[in-house]
Structure 1
Amino acid sequence: MSGPARDGVARRAHRREPTRSTTTRTDPLEPYRAKRDFVSTPEPSGALAEPRAGGGGRFVVQRHRARSRHYDLRLEIGGVLVSWAVPKGPTLDPSVRSLAVHVEDHPLEYIDFEGVIPRGEYGSGDVIVWDRGTWAPARPEDPAADVAAGELHFDLDGEKLAGRFLLVRTGRHRGRSGREQWLLLHKRDEHAVAGWDPEEHPRSVRSGRTNDEVAAAPEALWRSDAPAAEAEAPAPAPASAPAAPDALGGSGS
C-alpha cells in the first residue's frame, strides 16, 4: 500500500476512537479526541490533569469563527476545561439571557490555543483567546456536581469579564446533536454594565489581534505530540494566502 491510500490509513489510525476506561476514573477527553485528527489540526490532544483542590481555577473564552461565529466559554473543573458554546457571546449586561450549548470537555492545554483549525477538520476556522483569567464557584464544595445538577453560580476575574455569572440548564436539547441547552447570564452586581456587547471588544487578550488577523497569518501551530511546555512553535510562513475557512464548518468545538 502506498501513496494516498497509505496516508488515509495512517490518518484514520491517528484519529482517536473512544475506548472503555480500565481505571476507576474515566477519561472525559475521549469524545474530544474522537472528533479530531491530530495529524492535521494544530489543536492539542491533551492529557487528563489532576483536579485542582478547592474548586475553581482558570477560565478562557475563545472567539471561534467556525460554521457560525460563537464564543467558547471554558472553565477548569476536574482536570479538564468544561465547555459551552455561546452563539452571541458572554456579556456584562444583566438583562441578557444568552444561549449556551454544553459541548465536549477540552484539555487544559487548550486554554492558550489561538490559531487556525484547518479546513476539513472538526470546528475548522479561526480562534482567538478573547478573554482569560480565573474563576471561583459560589459553592466551592463540588462545582462538577453543580454542573451535573444543571445550575452553576460562579465569579469570573478576567481581562474583559468580571463578576457573578449563572449557568443553568434549560432541559432542552439542540438539533440532531442532542446537546444540552443552557442559559448564561450575569447577575446584577457592581460589575454589571447595561448594554455591554462582546462584539465591541473584538481583540485577543493574548496577542491583541482580531480573528481576521489570526486567519490571515497564524503566528503559531500547536505540536500536539510535544510536551505542553514545548508544544507551541512558530508557524512557517504561508506560501500563499490561506483559503477561507470551511464555510466555517463544524461549530461548537
Structure 2
Amino acid sequence: MSLNRYIQKRNFSSTSEPQGQVGKSKSELVFVVQKHAASHLHYDFRLEMDGVLKSWAIPKGPSMNPADKRLAIMVEDHPYAYKDFEGVIPEGNYGAGKVIVWDQGTYTLTDENLKKEAVAAIFKSNLNNGHLSFVLNGKKLKGEFALVKLKIKQKNAWLLIKKEDQFAAAENILEKDKSVISDISIEDL
C-alpha cells in the first residue's frame, strides 16, 4: 500500500504526526479510532492492513446500535505508527486540530483463530469488493461490524454498521469521550 498521498499532504517540519513508513503488529491485527477536532469534529476509523492503516472519516462517530448506519468516507492510508498519535496538528497543516485515541484494540474476521496472514488476504479481497465484515475487540467498541461501500457518485462513501450481537446497545458510546491512552478528553488536550 502506498503512503504517497499521506506524505504529500503533510509538512513534517511543522507537524508531529508520524512520517510515512509501513509497519505491522507482531501478532493480531490492530484497529484504532481517533477523535479528531479539525474543521469539523469527526472520528477516524483505522484498520491495519498490509503494513498501513486503511482509514475512514466518520462524521457522526461509530455506534453500538445496529439501527444506526454511519457514513464513513474512505481517506488516504496512514502509517502504522499513526495508531498511537495524539496531539495538536498546528494551524496551516492538513487536518489542523486536536486528535486523541478514542479507542483501540484488535480485529479479525470472526472470533475463530485464523492466521494473521489469512485474515489480511481475505480483508484485502473484501475491501476491493466493497464489503468488510469483522469483529472488534477494543476498549469501547466490541463485537461484529461491517463496512459497506455505497454505490453512489462519491466513490469513497461507505457505511459503518454495527451487527446485532451480545455487544449491541442503544446507549450513546460517544459519551465515553476520553482517550484510552492518556485518559483525557479532546477539550483538555
Give the structure-1-normalised TM-score.
0.68
SS in 1 for 2:6: helix
Find the aligned partners of 1:199 and 1:207 in 2 and give their Cα distance: 17
Summarize the alignment of residues 1-253 of structure 1 with structure 2, pairs less than 5 Å apart: 27-49=1-23, 57-138=29-110, 140=119, 141-174=121-154, 180-194=156-170, 196-214=171-189
Find the aligned partners of 1:51 and 1:142 in 2 and give their Cα distance: 17
Find the aligned partners of 2:43 and 2:134 in 1 and give their Cα distance: 18
RMSD: 1.7
- C-alpha deviation, 1:49, in angstroms: 2.6
Q: Which amino acid aligns with 1:64?
A: H
Find the aligned partners of 1:213 and 1:105 in 2 and give their Cα distance: 28
For the pair shown, the structure with the greater C-alpha radius of gyration is 1
Structure 2 gap ranges (5+) = 111-117
Q: Which amino acid aligns with 1:117?
A: I
SS in 2 for 1:172: coil
8 Å Cα contact 2:24/2:48 also seen in 1: no
The structure with more strand, counted as a fraction of residues:
2
Find the aligned partners of 2:135 and 2:62 in 1 and give their Cα distance: 13
Find the aligned partners of 1:171 and 1:51 in 2 and give their Cα distance: 33
Find the aligned partners of 1:170 and 1:94 in 2 and give their Cα distance: 17
Structure 2 counterpart of 1:218: none
- C-alpha deviation, 1:68, in angstroms: 0.4
Structure 2 counterpart of 1:227: none
Find the aligned partners of 1:69 and 1:172 in 2 and give their Cα distance: 24
8 Å Cα contact 1:52/1:79 also seen in 2: no
Q: Which amino acid aligns with 2:186?
A: N
Output one character per residue of 1:18-75: Cα deviation in whole Å (capped at 9) or x when no partner.
Answer: xxxxxxxxx511110000000001101131236878xx60110000001100000000
Structure 1 gap ranges (5+) = 1-26, 215-253
Give the structure-2-normalised TM-score.
0.90
Find the aligned partners of 1:84 and 1:109 in 2 and give their Cα distance: 17
8 Å Cα contact 1:62/1:73 also seen in 2: yes
Alpha carbons of structure 1 residues 51 and 62: separation in structure 2 relative to 1, 3 Å: closer
8 Å Cα contact 2:42/2:59 also seen in 1: yes
Find the aligned partners of 2:52 and 2:172 in 1 and give their Cα distance: 28
Q: Which amino acid aligns with 1:99?
A: L
Alpha carbons of structure 1 residues 57 and 40: separation in structure 2 relative to 1, 3 Å: same
Find the aligned partners of 2:88 and 2:97 in 1 and give their Cα distance: 6
Output one character per residue of 1:187-217: Cα deviation in whole Å (capped at 9) or x when no partner.
Answer: 00011012x3233111111111011111xxx
- C-alpha deviation, 1:173, in angstroms: 4.5
Find the aligned partners of 2:50 and 2:26 in 1 and give their Cα distance: 7
